[in-house]
Amino acid sequence: MAAQPPPPNKWISWLSQIYSSGKGPVLGTVDVQEIEDKAREVMKDNSTAYLYTLKSAGTCLTDDANRKAFERWKLIPRVLKDVTLRNVETTILGMKVSSPIFVGPVGKQGLVHADGELATARAAAAVGVPMILSSSASRSLEDVAEANGPNGQRWYQFYWPRSSDVALSVLKRAKENGYTALVITVDTMIIGWRSHDHRIGYSPAGHGFGVQQGMADPVFMKRHGLAARHERPKFPFDQEDIRKKAAAGDEETKQSMFLASQWLAETGSGIFRTWDDLQFVKDNWDGPIVLKGIQAVNDAEKAIDMGIDGIVVSNHGGRQIDGAIGSLDALDMIMRSQKVLDAQKSGRLTVLFDSGIRTGSDIIKALAIGAQGVLIARPIVYGLAIAGQAGVEQILMQSICDLHITMGLCGFSDVNDLTGKRDELLVKVDYGIGTQLDSLRQRYRFAQVMQSKSELCGCQRNNGMNHSDNGSTG
């Protein structure tokens, strides 16, 4: 009897359509570096905004470390196994998802496309991928929820307001608008040392861009005698034009900048929250709580002691601390803790990963080391900048399709079987990495010719994800 081919599935069908159409994908390529280069070219007339969303802290060493970590871990494929039928669906914190991929919380997406987070929310819903919305989004959480639709899966990333009444208001709004889990970013109590911003004094949030959660908050706005409003900031963002209008006495612009300063005093106050402070959120949030920004074993274990539902092993895509370890290296250390392993196995702790994911192989490596899901951020920004919603959809589709194919080639038929298979699937080696990364750094620096009047932070941009929120890519 002849062997039967597998039935079509959503992911492989997407790839097949590229070949049957003869036209190629929406972004013109599926190579992430080429997509990044294309996004840079598309935004060459607004390059400051582009670099603001994608740069990293200091000399970008942590950003580099994120990719170096992935380079060191190599896959060991297994063959002659029946993996004809493959499954990438999984369940995370009680939520059935189409794949272990999440859209990470990237702030101020309106800097790279006129539709901003609305396009990303629609794309996530269309593909069936959960979205984590940044507190520093350029659209209100209500508008994003509407764009994501009644069937969209969404979590809310929380930058902790200084005032309890404002914090409670934000939590209430998120819950009422279908955000089922709360992701508290714990590595950004203050913004890291970001050389590019410091050099040119570039601050979209200080000029009313990325503070839209505050403008839509009734408690915050009532303080200033105003009604909540759901803003859609002008694209492209022009800081100098806003400053000129304010200097000329434009009342609307002056009010916008004042309200922005007051909101930043709430969410960027410089207050360093502690483990004890988490009880406030636990008492006032009905749903899973996830801590994003965990890098140390002790902190992962402390999260278990505190009854936290999940952690995101993340270094903010290298945007907070220069010279820190790669996030995948942190995941490796954390997943060697017996306490973490026991909590994960019993269902008391969910482990997610962020910072550096670019390909299906990257996803497999993170899962094999111990993550149950991954966040993708910077590639989302690239796709958004080039083609809006359609561009984001492609990034998500190609990531899942790549995972689906590569998982089979590694000898696995179910994505759930990958988690924790480090010793079976991976080996850690170190050869030729420095030369390759140096080449990529040179490529990135050369691309900055478009900033002929500026000397920008020169780090290779084929890295780090996430992002950040309070500063932008989350």
Residue-averaged pLDDT of the chain: 91
Instruction: Write the burial class of residue 170 (CB in 10 Å: 0-12 exposed, 13-18 middle, 19+ buried).
Output: buried
Question: What mean pLDDT is predicted for residues 76-94?
Answer: 97
Residues 279-308 have a mean pLDDT of: 98
What pLDDT sits at residue 460? 43
pLDDT tens across 17-64, in order? Answer: 999 999 999 999 999 999 999 999 999 999 988 888 778 999 989 999
Residue in 297, 373, 299 with CA at minimum distance from that of residue 332: 297
Q: What is residue 471's predicted lDDT score, i.e. its pLDDT?
A: 43
Angle, CA 133 vertex, CA 132 and CA 138 arms, to 5°: 155
Provide the sign of the torsion angle of the four alpha carbons 308, 313, 315, 317, taken in this order: negative
Rounded Cα gap, residues 211 and 206, in angstroms: 8
- Tell me what the mean pLDDT of segment 131-158 comes to: 98
369-to-93, 363, 372 alpha-carbon distances in Å? 19, 10, 9
For the chain, give the percent of residues with pLDDT over 90.
Answer: 84
Residue 51: predicted pLDDT: 85
Q: Which residues are catalytic?
A: 316
Whether the pLDDT of residue 284 is over 60: the answer is yes
pLDDT higher than 70, residue 152: yes
Q: Tell me the C-alpha distance between 386 and 374, whole Å.
A: 23
Asked if 455 and 445 touch (Cβ cutoff 8 Å), the reply is no
Average pLDDT over residues 303-315: 98
What angle, 0 to 180 degrees and rounded to 10, lies between the N-to-C axes of helices 141-148 and 164-176?
10
What integer is the mean pLDDT of 275-280?
98
Mean pLDDT calculated for residue range 7-25: 93
> In this structure, how many other beta carbons lie within 10 angstroms of the beta carbon of residue 199?
12
pLDDT digits (tens, 9 = 90+) for 192-244: 998 888 888 999 999 999 999 999 999 999 999 999 999 999 999 999 999 99
Distance CA 312, CA 292 (A): 4
Average pLDDT value for residue range 250-278: 97
pLDDT band for position 464 (cuts 50, 70, 90): very low
pLDDT digits (tens, 9 = 90+) for 374-389: 999 999 999 999 999 9
What's the pTM value of the predicted model, to 2 decimals?
A: 0.92
pLDDT of residue 438: 54
Give me the pLDDT at residue 86, please. 98
What per-residue confidence (pLDDT) applies to 360?
Answer: 98
Residue 355 has pLDDT above 80, yes or no: yes
Q: In this predicted structure, what is the pLDDT of residue 1?
A: 64
- 393 phi/psi in degrees, rounded to 5: -60, -40
Instruction: Specify the long-range contacts of residues 74-80, CB closer than 8 Å, at least 24 apart.
Output: 74/426, 74/427, 74/428, 74/429, 75/361, 75/364, 75/365, 75/410, 75/425, 75/426, 76/410, 76/424, 76/425, 76/426, 76/427, 77/409, 77/410, 77/411, 78/410, 78/411, 78/412, 79/411
Furthest CA-CA distance within the chain: 82
Mean pLDDT of all residues in 71-79: 97
The closest of 128, 15, 19 to 405, measured between CA atoms, is 15
Strand partners, 183: 157, 290
pLDDT digits (tens, 9 = 90+) for 408-441: 999 999 999 999 999 999 999 987 645 455 555 5
Give the model's pLDDT for residue 198: 87
pLDDT tens sequence across 311-334: 999 999 999 999 999 999 999 999
Distance from C-alpha of 60 to C-alpha of 264, rounded to nearest angstrom: 25
Q: How confident is the model at residue 254 (pLDDT cuts 50, 70, 90)?
A: very high
Q: What is the reported pLDDT for 437?
A: 52
Task: Name the least confident of 199-213, 347-361, 441-455, 456-470.
Answer: 456-470
Give the per-residue pLDDT at 199: 85
Share of the chain above pLDDT 70, in %: 91
Name the residue type at position 403: L
